[in-house]
Copies of this chain bind each other. A is one copy, B any other.
Amino acid sequence: MKIIVLKFGGTSVGTLKKITKVAKIITTYVKKKYRVIVVSSAMSGVTNELLSKTKKISQNFPNDEKDVILSTGEQISCALIAGKLIELGFKSRSWLGWQLPIVTKGNYSSSRIVKIQKSKIINYLKKGGIPIITGFQGINSDYRITTLERGGSDTSAILCAKFFKAEKCIIYTDVEGVYTTDPNLTKSAKKINKISYEEMLEMSSLGAKVMQPTSIQEARLNRIEIDVRSTFSKKPGTTITKKKNILSKNNIRGISFTKNDAKLTLIGVKDRPGVAASIFKPLYENSINVDMVVQNISADSRETDLTFTIKLEDLLKTRKLLENNKLIKFKKLIINKDVSKVSIIGVGMVTTPGVTYRMFRALAKKRINIEVISTSEIKISVLINKKNLKKSVEILHQEFKLNNNL
Is A20 engaged at the interface, CB distance under 8 Å to the other chain? yes
Closest to A144 in B: B99
A3 close to chain B: CB less than 8 A: no
A378 in contact (CB, < 8 A)? no
For A58, the chain B residues whose CB sits under 8 A away are 83-84, 86-87
Residue A76 at the chain B interface, CB threshold 8 Å: yes
The verdict on A373 contacting chain B, using a C-beta distance below 8 Å, is no
Residues of B near A99 (CB, < 8 A) are 143-144
For A98, what are the chain B residues with a Cβ–Cβ distance below 8 Å? 98
Stretch in A66-74, A256-264, A310-318, A326-334 with 4+ CB within 8 Å of B: A66-74
- Is A93 touching B80 in the complex (CB atoms < 8 A)? no
Binding site for B on A (CB under 8 A): 16, 19-20, 50, 53-54, 56-58, 60-62, 64-66, 68-69, 71-72, 75-76, 78-80, 82-84, 86-87, 93-94, 96, 98-99, 143-145
Task: Tell me whether A54 and B68 are in contact in the complex, defined as CB-CB below 8 angstroms, given that A98-B98, A99-B143, A143-B99 are known contacts.
Answer: no
Nearest chain B residue, comparing its CB with the CB of A120: B143
Which of A56, A76, A93, A144 has the most chain B CB within a 10 Å cutoff?
A: A76
A54 cross-chain contacts in B, Cβ below 8 A: 80, 83
Set of chain B residues within 8 Å of A16, measured between Cβ atoms: 53, 56-57
Name the B residues within 8 Å of A60 (CB-CB). 87
A75 and B72 contacting across the interface, CB-CB below 8 Å: yes
Residues of B within 8 A of A96 (CB): 68, 145
Since A54-B80, A62-B82, A68-B79 are in contact, a sample of 19 more A-B pairs with Cβ atoms closer than 8 Å, ordered by chain A residue number, is A16-B53, A57-B84, A58-B83, A60-B87, A61-B83, A64-B93, A65-B79, A65-B83, A66-B79, A66-B83, A68-B75, A68-B76, A68-B94, A68-B96, A69-B75, A72-B76, A75-B75, A96-B145, A98-B98
A72: chain B residues within 8 A (beta carbon): 72, 75-76
Count chain B CB atoms within 10 A of each CB in A69, A75, A83 and give the residue with the most: A83
Report B-chain residues with C-beta under 8 Å of the C-beta of A80: 53-54, 57, 65, 69
By beta carbon, the residue of chain B nearest A76 is B69
Determine the distance from Cα of A69 to Cα of B71 in the docked complex, in whole angstroms.
12
- Taking the nearest CB of chain B, how far is it from the CB of A221, in angstroms? 31
* Smallest CB gap from A16: residue in B: B56
Name the residue of chain B whose CB is nearest to the CB of A139.
B99
Note all chain B residues with C-beta closer than 8 A to A93.
Answer: 64-65
The 8 closest A-B pairs by CB, nearest first: A72-B72, A68-B79, A58-B87, A65-B79, A65-B83, A69-B79, A16-B56, A61-B83
Closest to A80 in B: B57
| Contact (Cβ within 8 A) A86 B69 | no
Which chain B positions have C-beta within 8 A of A50? 76
Q: Is the CB of B61 within 8 A of A87?
A: yes
What residues of B have a CB within 8 angstroms of the CB of A57 in the complex? 16, 19-20, 80, 83-84, 87
A51 to chain B, nearest CB (A): 12
Residue on B with the closest CB to A23? B57
Cα separation A226 to B267 with both chains bound (whole Å): 71
Complex Cα distance, B76 from A19, in Å, reads 23
Q: How far is the CB of A234 from chain B (nearest CB, A)?
A: 24
A56 to B69, CA, bound (A): 24
Residue in A16, A50, A66, A69 with the greatest tally of chain B CB atoms within 10 Å: A69
The CA-CA distance from A60 to B143 in the complex, in Å, is 33
In the complex, what's the smallest C-beta–C-beta distance from A2 to chain B, in angstroms?
26
Q: How far is the CA of A134 from the CA of B145 in the complex (A)?
A: 14
**A39 CB, nearest partner CB in chain B, Å:** 16
Smallest distance from the beta carbon of A286 to chain B beta carbons, Å? Answer: 22
Chain B residues whose CB sits within 8 angstroms of the CB of A83 once the complex forms: 54, 57-58, 61-62, 65-66
